[in-house]
Structure 1
Amino acid sequence: MLKMATDKIETDEGPCCPICLEQFSIPRQLPCAHSFCEKCLQSHITTEYAKYENEKLTYIKCPVCRNSASPAIKDRPISEWTTLFPVNTVLQSILPAKSKVDRLCDARNSEGVHAPAEGYCVACKESMCIDCLKVHKKLKISKDHTIISVDELACNPRNVMKLANGFTCSEHHGEDIKYYCKDHSVPCCGTCFFDSHKICSKVIDLKKDLPALQRDSSLEEIIADMKKIEMHLKKFMEMNEACVNALEPQVERLTNQIREVRKKINSVLDELEKRVKTEGNRIYKEEVIRKQDENQQCLSILHSVRNSHYFLETVYKYGSNLQKFLMTETMMSQLYFYCNLVGEKYEKTNKLAVTVQFSPTIQSILSISLSELGKVVTTTSSNTLPLPCSQRPTKDCQLERVDVIDLKLPTVKGAQWYTGVTFLPGERVIIADYNNKQCILLSSSYQFITSHTLTGNPWNICVLDDQEVAVSLYNQCKIQILSVIGDVIRPVRTITTTYNCTGIATAGNGDMVVRGPCVNNKGQWILINMRGDVKCTHQYDIPFNEGYNYIAVNNMKTRVYVSVYGMNSLLCFDMDGRKLFTYSPDNLREPHGVAVDRYDNIYVLGNWSNNIHQLSPNGSVIQVVKTGVPKSPMAICIHQSKDILIITNRQDRTKLHIYQLK
């Protein structure tokens, strides 16, 4: 029986690394708050880097949530990246004593020297060796800083929490979280506040107004929800193991079934063999007797012929002419008789052949191939479990249009048409301008920054990582990869395909999902890697060949959504190409843009019906928005943490319609 990882789920000896499933050894924390053993994280970084050895990576993907994580100093060697992510001191403080490790001096460690730390400076938030502590206490600027011994930190989580005080910003390295924006439901540091939230109406100072943010949920309720999640994960793993264990006897039963079928067939064939042998022996014996009789007759005739031969020669040698004449006449009569007799024998004697005449059933079995004779068939059935904890009540959310931005650029001579739009990491926006073969970069306040000319007409655009976007070029059979660093857009590489690309979305792990061509009333979506190699292609039926299609992937990268305007439908597939559901109500006409919010709710634009359909992850309707929707909505994107939607439209092609999910 195969061993599965279920044995690990009952161990409860403290926090465990999600990679090695063992107790943490020097837990390093990524900006997304997930922690891993230092060695495990370094192994993951090395593996990720090896996938793109020809490209200079400046980030990695978290092994758990796949969010991007950049080291504090991006130009350091890849072998040092792990040490640039902070140690999770809170997590380390609650590890069992046997798993604790010596804390190293942060300053010396950054120089590549592993010196054991003796103390921790509360003000500087750094561990220091004894030499660094001596210097620290002598400096005028730091002599009054509070120092806590490393031993006291290691043994007392309460002290660690006092030092943690708050949390640092994931976007601005080292800056403390000081505010909370209720408009966007995000915590932010001082830089976040001045860059993006200065004009927001509900920004809470966490030091002054923290009680205003206290949630109704108690600690016990949150822990209860977390325990439910643990229970469901354990249940899921147990179900997987039960499924695997149940397969073993099924496989044995399959072989037994084949064995029984073979036994029955062999039994029938054995009986047939006995009958054939008995009947064949009877035929053989009868034929032997008959042929022996015929040969005996032939032998008698043969001797008669020889006797006549001898008699004739003797008469011709010693007899008279009269005797010769009469003997000749007699022999002539005998000769005719012998000729007729031999001819008759040849006519009556045939070569006997014995064969077995199988029944049509056996003949049909013998004529079919192995694949037609039988095959192993697998069937799947889903196990439904209730949600382990409550989610945001999306049915009560309102989609409110808060602004309309006219982006008609005076420097552009041709008519602009925005067929693709997406948020970059942060709040900046990049747009695909189809008519003018360009991409346009906007600030977080939707002000023009720069543009970049493409080699063809862009249709759609998606974010690959912190620095790169992919643009599908309509009727070009190309995907152009661009880097967006600061205020500069640069071409990185071009992927040439054998098919025309329209909708495009990131599928995680460096892969992309692309809406391929429609041929012979078959639509298709294609999974490709960063080099453009096709990993798999999945087809589905459509009423006629069409081109204006969009595509999206859910946050867990397990589902693909394709809008099919010719069918007035939104199709949902899993990553293996199995169709999960079809959404095609009467009030959805010519669907175009499709996107997914942070709760995996789906938004699809009715281009002809002029509405926005908001669906739950399972495809049920949450709401259909008609008020404030632009005529002929085209493309849509959603800011995953701030619940901001941007919609372009075919009627007013230069306008961006900004919505807030409240």
Structure 2
Amino acid sequence: MAYANIDKGDGFNCPICLCQFNIPRQLPCAHNICHSCLQSYITTEATKYNELGYIKCPICMQPASPSVKDRPIREWASLFPVNALLESMLPAKANADRMCDSCSSENVSALAEGFCAVCKEAMCTDCLKFHRRQKMTKRHVIVSVEEFDGNPQNVMKLGQDLYCLQHEGEYVKFYCKDHKVAGCGTCFFHNHNTCSSRIDLKNEVPALLREINPDEILSDMEKIESHLQAFMKINESSICNFESDVNKITDLISQIRRKINSLLDALENGLKTEGNRIYKEENIRIQEENHKCLSLMHAVQTSRVLFKTVNQYGSEMQKFIMVERMQPQLQSYLNLVREKFEMTDRLIVKVELVPQIESILSLSAAELGKIVPKRSSNVLSSCILKSPAPRVRKPAKDCQIERVDVIDLCPASNGRYYSGVTFIPGDRVLVADSCNKQCILLSSSFQFICNHILNVPPIDICQIGGLEVAVLLPNAIQILSVNGGMISRVRTITTNWTYHGIAANGTGNMAVTGYSRHGMGCWILMSTEGKVKASYDYAYLYGLYNYIAFNNANTRVYVSVYEQNSMYCFDMNGRNLYTYCDESLSGPQGVTVDRDDNIYIAGYGSNNIHQLSPDGSALQVITNGVPTGPCAISFCKVQDMFIITNFNNCKLSINKLK
């Protein structure tokens, strides 16, 4: 057939069951899942999703709403469209009779007689009759199965991929340059009505396609697949090495068996038992990791094959829409792969023995030695993951600020607000929600992923290294781990101090501001385990809202003092290097630095952001894009983007340096 050169060796497996797709349903995020897998997934989480009114894609965790929300949750899987292009490319479909999708979803077998280009489903004679009688569907375009015949080129002529994935039956017509997303008229009326850069795609697709490179995206997807395969090989090698390490225990025991034979037998049994237990646990953990990798790889393969097909046979409009849909997936895949490689390690087994063998006869078997698991990071090539190209920076005083978006996650109440915000690996965002006593995790596109409930309102938040963050509470610091789409508590550090602000330098140290035991304002240097290394008391630091930040070299800290209308710079010995104050800065709160060590201070009372050079010289006062009552501020140094929270409501202002 005409499409015989398309790669069918992979890309056709469901990322959930890892088997060939059976009625692939397409979610609004463009990921594909078997109908039965999607049904099981929805049923398992039925109570939670029924309350939310939407599900989360099991691959990227993006919200996915059914086209008709008032239907029972048991019917939701059938409301997501069948991906006709993907289904037509399945190897089993080439020589098989096409079955009715509607009947198949009810476990009924019936030969298909036609295909609806709007509903994207094959239908039997009875379903077609019913379809033509319904007022809402009687105008839908129906083609015969013979015309459809499973050829991707014929499927693409139906234009299924030109329909909006969010709103059934509506065509993609517009593109928003502000948010880099395409959609139908309904999408733009509800979500992009105030955006300044909206484009009618009717005449602009060729120009937009020239700005992107479909071949480069396809190449990046292939690289992600190879990275995932490399990750699984690392895990498999880790198991082999671990097994080898465990076997070395026997050799060690044999060397000393002649002197302490009676105790050595007990030691050997104990160590082998412990080693095998850890081996089994590690084996299970790595198999689970590999299963996740395989699931993600199948999703990438599916995206790649679809992209390759559209790129080969699709119209320019189809290519553009596919590119637009794949770019967020590509960034999501890169973030997930980067996260996995950051977490990849190897478990090394060593035996700790008592220093004086002569005294061994006086020891019990349990005292003789024990298994000590230790992980070592894998050394990976610096080019294994794609990083943004370096940008030529303008002098800070010449930089302009552009507001990108305003995110409103929940209504404010009782005067509370988002008290802290920080970027974490993958350009994701974690918000300290004082209003609802929780932390909120957002994707790199600022979409809700999950939340973590706290017992008290959080005060501030910062990343401390890797996937761990520190959440500042009134009299404690709670360390959380952000792994994929899950947030879990690691440990809690409690003290007698009252805290105000927190920062970390990525080298195992944190700095906090608060009240000391002497009733004075202070800033404290401590380890991420809670060990205090230094405490510096100053009467002028006494206040209600003191935020703190490190410079990039970890040689200075910056402390804002609300009551003093000032920002103080200290070295790591507590010496005040300089103080910044200006008549246009009132009620300073959040403080942060960019990748060039320029300092940004949020003026709550003055409704502005003060930008300083590293030596404290004023560069500019920023008012454009700054919300009323700016509070916490956090900088993403990879994208030259910063987020500002608002003291008066629960909104996030997203800004970029130009």
Alignment correspondent of 1:411:
none
Deviation (angstroms), 1:133: 4.0
Provide the C-alpha distance between the structure 2 equivalents of 1:431 and 1:143, rounded to a whole number of angstroms.
43
Q: What is the SS of the residue equivalent to 2:143?
A: strand
Deviation (angstroms), 1:90: 1.2
Deviation (angstroms), 1:538: 3.1
Matched, 1:191 2:147: no
User: Which of the residues 191, 205, 208 maps onto 1:213?
Assistant: 208
Matched, 1:515 2:453: no
Provide the C-alpha distance between the structure 1 equivalents of 2:654 and 2:10, rounded to a whole number of angstroms.
49
Provide the C-alpha distance between the structure 2 equivalents of 1:139 and 1:267, rounded to a whole number of angstroms.
85
Provide the C-alpha distance between the structure 1 equivalents of 2:410 and 2:473, rounded to a whole number of angstroms.
25
Alignment correspondent of 1:556:
none
Alignment correspondent of 2:40:
43
Alignment correspondent of 2:478:
524
Query: Residues 174-573 of structure 1 correspond to what in structure 2 (within 5 A)?
Result: 174-266=169-261, 362-363=358-359, 366-367=362-363, 370=366, 373-388=369-384, 390-393=386-389, 395=391, 400-402=400-402, 428-430=408-410, 432=412, 436-438=414-416, 459=419, 472-473=433-434, 479=437, 497=455, 501-503=458-460, 515=471, 517=473, 523-526=477-480, 536-538=489-491, 546-549=499-502, 564-566=511-513
Preserved CA contact (<8 Å) 1:504 1:512? no
User: Which of the residues 158, 162, 185 maps onto 2:157?
Assistant: 162
Deviation (angstroms), 1:158: 0.7
Q: What is the SS of the residue equivalent to 2:170?
A: coil
- CA separation of 1:635 and 1:368: change in aligned 2, threshold 3 A: farther
- CA separation of 1:146 and 1:611: change in aligned 2, threshold 3 A: same
Preserved CA contact (<8 Å) 1:514 1:528? no
The letter of the residue matching 1:41 is: L
Q: What is the SS of the residue equivalent to 1:370?
A: helix
Preserved CA contact (<8 Å) 2:421 2:633? no
Q: What is the SS of the residue equivalent to 1:376?
A: strand
Q: TM-score when scaled to structure 2?
A: 0.54
Q: What is the SS of the residue equivalent to 2:81?
A: coil
Alignment correspondent of 1:450:
none
Provide the C-alpha distance between the structure 2 equivalents of 1:256 and 1:432, rounded to a whole number of angstroms.
65
The letter of the residue matching 1:117 is: A
**Identity within the alignment, %:** 36
Provide the C-alpha distance between the structure 2 equivalents of 1:72 and 1:505, rounded to a whole number of angstroms.
39
Preserved CA contact (<8 Å) 1:105 1:116? no
Deviation (angstroms), 1:140: 11
Alignment correspondent of 1:60:
55
Moved more, 259-268 or 59-68: 259-268
Q: What is the SS of the residue equivalent to 2:371?
A: coil
Cα deviation digits, residues 48-72 of structure 1 (max 9, x gap): 337x59x834222222111122222
User: Which of the residues 628, 644, 656 maps onto 1:647?
Assistant: 644
User: Which of the residues 589, 602, 607 maps onto 2:558?
Assistant: 589
The letter of the residue matching 1:401 is: I
Provide the C-alpha distance between the structure 2 equivalents of 1:174 and 1:135, rounded to a whole number of angstroms.
18
The letter of the residue matching 1:20 is: C
- CA separation of 1:265 and 1:85: change in aligned 2, threshold 3 A: same
Deviation (angstroms), 1:241: 0.7
Alignment correspondent of 1:341:
none
Cα deviation digits, residues 197-232 of structure 1 (max 9, x gap): 344343222121111201455443332222222111
* Bigger RCO of structures 1 and 2 (CA < 8 A, at least 6 apart): 2
Preserved CA contact (<8 Å) 1:569 1:582? no
Provide the C-alpha distance between the structure 2 equivalents of 1:269 and 1:586, rounded to a whole number of angstroms.
52
Alignment correspondent of 1:84:
79
Gaps of 5+ in 2: 1-6, 266-354, 423-429, 441-450, 514-522, 530-549, 562-586, 601-610, 612-619
Provide the C-alpha distance between the structure 1 equivalents of 2:113 and 2:640, rounded to a whole number of angstroms.
46
User: Which of the residues 59, 64, 69 maps onto 1:69?
Assistant: 64
Gaps of 5+ in 1: 1-9, 271-358, 405-421, 440-457, 463-468, 483-492, 552-558, 574-580, 593-606, 616-620
Deviation (angstroms), 1:460: 5.8
- CA separation of 1:379 and 1:542: change in aligned 2, threshold 3 A: farther
Alignment correspondent of 1:613:
593
Preserved CA contact (<8 Å) 1:26 1:101? no
Deviation (angstroms), 1:156: 0.8
Deviation (angstroms), 1:252: 0.5
- CA separation of 1:647 and 1:218: change in aligned 2, threshold 3 A: closer
- CA separation of 1:229 and 1:193: change in aligned 2, threshold 3 A: same
Alignment correspondent of 2:89:
94
CA RMSD of aligned residues (A): 5.7
Deviation (angstroms), 1:174: 4.6
Alignment correspondent of 1:31:
28
Deviation (angstroms), 1:95: 0.7
Alignment correspondent of 2:342:
none
- CA separation of 1:517 and 1:660: change in aligned 2, threshold 3 A: closer
Provide the C-alpha distance between the structure 1 equivalents of 2:649 and 2:136, rounded to a whole number of angstroms.
58
User: Which of the residues 11, 17, 22 maps onto 1:20?
Assistant: 17
Q: What is the SS of the residue equivalent to 2:12?
A: coil
Preserved CA contact (<8 Å) 1:568 1:584? no
Q: What is the SS of the residue equivalent to 1:227?
A: helix
Cα deviation digits, residues 519-576 of structure 1 (max 9, x gap): 6xx84324699xx9x954336799976233489xxxxxxx999984447999999xxx
Cα deviation digits, residues 440-486 of structure 1 (max 9, x gap): xxxxxxxxxxxxxxxxxx74699xxxxxx997559xxx83799xxxx
Alignment correspondent of 1:307:
none
Preserved CA contact (<8 Å) 1:634 1:647? yes
Cα deviation digits, residues 149-194 of structure 1 (max 9, x gap): 2244242111111223544445445533211112222212212323
Preserved CA contact (<8 Å) 2:470 2:477? no
Q: What is the SS of the residue equivalent to 1:155?
A: coil
Preserved CA contact (<8 Å) 1:564 1:591? no
Q: What is the SS of the residue equivalent to 1:546?
A: strand
Provide the C-alpha distance between the structure 2 equivalents of 1:146 and 1:543, rounded to a whole number of angstroms.
71
Preserved CA contact (<8 Å) 1:105 1:114? no
Preserved CA contact (<8 Å) 2:117 2:160? no
> Max radius of gyration: which structure?
1
Provide the C-alpha distance between the structure 1 equivalents of 2:66 and 2:622, rounded to a whole number of angstroms.
42
- CA separation of 1:258 and 1:634: change in aligned 2, threshold 3 A: farther
Provide the C-alpha distance between the structure 2 equivalents of 1:654 and 1:22, rounded to a whole number of angstroms.
44
